[in-house]
Chain A
């Protein structure tokens, strides 16, 4: 059943990318929506829905990072930090830890705002650095945040984190232990994110981002305040990550620092690289493929290996796979699986894209 979901998700997204005719696209979209909305009512396997909810959260993150990296061209290697901020916001505002119990829906907004605030604080002094250095600075931030959460033991529970987070409620009914409500919440988050990101892409701001990527000097000469525009991308991206963090924490009912390490930031970057930076459909596909590999393929491979008495744990090869994907894609298909024409040119052609 889970294979069907992923196949439908990936296949129909690719189809949306390829097909131009509006009526056909509507049909594809409707089909996809039908499968996603009605599927769980037909077969509500909890483990499946859990993986799918995770996939949904990753899609939101990937779309958010796409705004920063794909649209504005800023390499952020510390995206997990904002995810952590969102997650810990939920853990602190909806658990016995501080005795505060704000509603889940309110915290979604609070965390998004908080994350974007941190995005502005980090971005304001650093966005004028060029490519490599900005990447390292964001990496540094990505290291500092979980470490701080780990160190402030009294507040954040230290290395053990905070557990027993509140269940969200919807019109009085608690989400309970099951994964289905989180599945639908993450679908809603995806829909919202898709809408906002698509609006941005086709707007004055989206053009400004593209202009900066193409030729920052010329962009300044048409009146684009490049610092402010980059900051907007950074803060927006951070807010999506924070949003995802809240859903993640609520679903897991637990947060701890080891969940938000550099590997997570790289995972999201890998999703963009694999799927196609700058391309909404590509990014979604990248997220789905990698979540599928992590959540379905590798565990399945382990089960099969155990069945033939092969003592291998495929789970420990995560990073080899990400690494191979990053290297392979960069060498052979830098635009990703579903490249965005402009972006893939920039990644291969040294003349394009000046800073």
Chain B
């Protein structure tokens, strides 16, 4: 029982990271119908940026006291900002021109961007995993049979808070409404006076920022990062986004947690080397049997 709960908590924490990445995927796909292959690599970039920032701040291990909050804020926001800009640049340079091209073209381009990013990161920090400072001290809180670690709480809290903030933003603010309108009918949105280019750019900015935060969080949690992390994490986060119904924010978050839990349990029950197989098998099954996702947004096709 104890192991079960521990794995559950583990899975939820992992899922929180996936959720943050999945939100970016789902937002971008919702608005331009593009699977942003490079998104996973922006996530890794986030951890690289955070690592660099923390090194600049002189952080090597745990930090205590008020400095902790400051360090977290600077690193997280820094990573978010830089990754948001990266997201923006990718959209502007690589995707914008291909917005109306048949889907094959932007997808191939996205793969190309992903490769470029991965290579850049490989050269930047080397081909092996790199150590990341622990930053947050590690006290474990005991809630009955459950042992929860502060970092895990932070991740989950961050993911949920972000999703709610995003929901509110999309539902209530003018920019959010612009995003929804553009996602539904780009031409109509333009005719209504919405600056479609800016709206799409904003989506990529937000998506990138979320990935950046996820990268920072992942670095702190696992105390390491690796240039190739983004590929696998990206695919799994995409699985999560599809499971929750692409375009559906709450679905992406729930999907992220679900995938995290599934991965955690399959690692525990059948071994780590099979967890990828399990997740990708789920990806295929969901796409084949319920492509609109488990909580999907139904989009009727017109003839």
**A4 shortest CB reach to chain B, Å:** 31
* Closest A residue to B283 using CB positions: A140
Q: Kindly supply a per-residue 1/0 record for chain B positions 114-132, scoring 1 wherever the CB is within 8 Å of any chain A CB and 0 otherwise.
A: 1111111011000100000
User: Are B108 and A269 closer than 8 Å at their CB atoms?
Assistant: yes
User: Are B113 and A327 closer than 8 Å at their CB atoms?
Assistant: yes
* Closest A residue to B289 using CB positions: A125
Query: B: which residues have CB within 8 A of A?
Result: 33-35, 94, 97-98, 100-109, 111-120, 122-123, 127, 231, 235, 238, 242, 273-274, 276-277, 280-281, 283-284, 287-288, 291, 303
**B250 shortest CB reach to chain A, Å:** 21
* Closest B residue to A151 using CB positions: B273
Q: For the complex, is A311 an interface residue (Cβ under 8 Å from B)?
A: no
**B95 shortest CB reach to chain A, Å:** 10
Q: Which of A97-125 contact B (CB under 8 A)?
A: 125
CA distance A151 to B275 in the complex (A): 11
User: Are B35 and A132 closer than 8 Å at their CB atoms?
Assistant: yes
Q: For the complex, is A285 an interface residue (Cβ under 8 Å from B)?
A: no
CA distance A326 to B35 in the complex (A): 16
User: Are B35 and A346 closer than 8 Å at their CB atoms?
Assistant: no
Interface of B is mostly: helix
Give the chain A neighbours of B123 by CB distance below 8 A: 316-317
User: Are A126 and B288 closer than 8 Å at their CB atoms?
Assistant: yes
Give the chain A neighbours of B113 by CB distance below 8 A: 323, 327
22 pairs, A vs B, C-beta closer than 8 Å: A126-B284, A126-B287, A130-B103, A132-B34, A133-B242, A133-B287, A136-B235, A136-B287, A140-B235, A316-B127, A318-B119, A320-B120, A322-B112, A323-B111, A324-B116, A327-B94, A327-B109, A327-B112, A331-B98, A347-B102, A347-B104, A350-B102
Query: Given A125, A273, A319, A353, which contacts B102 in the complex, CB threshold below 8 Å?
Result: A353
Query: Given A130, A266, A348, which contacts B111 in the complex, CB threshold below 8 Å?
Result: A266
Query: Given A135, A144, A348, which contacts B107 in the complex, CB threshold below 8 Å?
Result: A135
Give the chain A neighbours of B106 by CB distance below 8 A: 330
Give the chain B neighbours of A139 by CB distance below 8 A: 235
**B146 shortest CB reach to chain A, Å:** 32
Contact flag A327-B116 (CB < 8 Å), given A140-B280, A151-B277: yes
Chain A: interface residue total (CB-CB under 8 A): 48
Enumerate the 9 nearest inter-chain pairs by beta-carbon distance, A residue then B residue, closest first: A326-B112, A323-B115, A323-B116, A320-B119, A327-B112, A140-B280, A323-B112, A319-B115, A131-B103
Q: Using a Cβ cutoff of 8 Å, how many contacts connect chains A and B? A: 132
CA distance A141 to B284 in the complex (A): 8
User: Are A348 and B116 closer than 8 Å at their CB atoms?
Assistant: no
Query: Given B100, B115, B281, B283, which contacts A136 in the complex, CB threshold below 8 Å?
Result: B283
Q: For the complex, is A334 an interface residue (Cβ under 8 Å from B)?
A: yes
CA distance A141 to B34 in the complex (A): 20
**A118 shortest CB reach to chain B, Å:** 13
Contact flag A326-B284 (CB < 8 Å), given A151-B274, A350-B102: no
Give the chain A neighbours of B303 by CB distance below 8 A: 217
User: Are B291 and A320 closer than 8 Å at their CB atoms?
Assistant: no
Q: Which of A281-335 contact B (CB under 8 A)?
A: 316-320, 322-328, 330-331, 334
Q: For the complex, is A150 an interface residue (Cβ under 8 Å from B)?
A: yes
Query: Given B108, B122, B273, which contacts A150 in the complex, CB threshold below 8 Å?
Result: B273
Give the chain B neighbours of A133 by CB distance below 8 A: 242, 287, 291
**A323 shortest CB reach to chain B, Å:** 3
Contact flag A144-B281 (CB < 8 Å), given A269-B108, A319-B118: yes
Give the chain A neighbours of B120 by CB distance below 8 A: 320
CA distance A334 to B119 in the complex (A): 23
User: Are A323 and B287 closer than 8 Å at their CB atoms?
Assistant: no
